[in-house]
Amino acid sequence: MTGAHSRPKVRGLASGAPPEGSASKAPAAKARGAETAGRKVEEELDALLDGDAKETQRPTFPKIFGTYVLEEMLSRGGMAEIYRAQRTGPHSFRKTVVLKKILPALAGNEDFRRLFIEEAKTVALLDHPHIVPVHELGEINSELYMTMEYVNGFDLKTMLRRAHEKGLKLPLDLAVYIAARIASALDFAFTREGPDGGPLQIVHRDVSPPNILISFAGMVKLTDFGISKPSSYVEARKHAPQGKIQYMSPEQASGGPLDARSDIFSLGVILYEMIAGRRPIAGNPDMPSMDEVRRADIVPLRFISSRVTPRLEKVVMNAVASSPDERYTDAGKMAAALDRVLHERPAVGSPQLAQFMRILFDATSRETATSS
């Protein structure tokens, strides 16, 4: 990926992903004070990045960065740049990784250095087959970086778009399989014990198709914990909403306390979309207003899709209930419910998902995939 990159305005400050669809432009009344403070930080950061953008208009590759060879910039967000890179070593050793590097303009900013370090240390604790792992946290020439697994495939957003372009629907069983795997990842992040022996209670806060990676081998991985926070942190503070508005829970849109049930709502929206081809909120599901997200006027899935079974609809509608008290209490219960749905149907797993990916993406596309 070479050529000019336009610099996006800051949204989701700890995230390395592009902030398309960010929700901070329409604040809840109760979160207005938090957003005002957040906007001031954003304006200050934008000013810093304006100067930095001049240095990165036309990046050339490959670039040497310590023992890494940066081959291509995958994305550039408000805090970091993400590259596909090669880890080099003796005897011609090479391994493809994703390298996330703090923006040069922020290299000396202690607040953003702290956020970057916290993200790396948090994800390093999440050793789970359906979470993209962090391999290393380091610093070269005062620039912090972390390296992560390179997932050879595409994100769920790209996969669904390609299926639509080809006039195909994601098979129902594969949609359930993907959601079940992500539910298990969310449950692990929330219940994983930290260094003090207590649960981490991590709330991802940006569960969305761009952050779900599907490999050509049929593996499903959750990524980008850049704006994730412990539940206790989120409950103790009011926040301007961060994340993608189309997948945001009503309580997140209101800037209120969040726990695992907020991520469950977001995953429920994704599952609904995989099944029905649209999101569940009435009105404008492609880009709902913040008020529509807060009201969460959900269209019953059976009204949109004839292929959904009663048991599966019950799981989906439980996940997207407007009140957190009416949802699954934890993502583990949602994963178990989805697995029960799968057990009633023909066996499905990574081989079937890999086969569908091969149908969607030809050999050339698979060779040039740049998932991160």
Catalytic residue numbers, as ranges: 206
Under a CB-based contact definition with an 8 Å cutoff, are residues 173 and 352 in contact? yes
Looking at residue 360, its amino acid is L
H or E stretch at 35: helix 32-53
Looking at residue 33, its amino acid is G
Separation CA 284–CA 144 (nearest Å): 41
Strand, helix or coil for residue 18: coil
Under a CB-based contact definition with an 8 Å cutoff, are residues 45 and 10 in contact? yes
Separation CA 53–CA 47 (nearest Å): 10
Separation of CA 44 from chain center: 25
Q: How far is CA 320 from CA 29, 75, 113, 135, 338, in A?
A: 23, 30, 35, 34, 14
Strand, helix or coil for residue 85: strand
- Is the omega angle on the peptide bond into residue 62 within 30 degrees of 0, that is, cis? yes
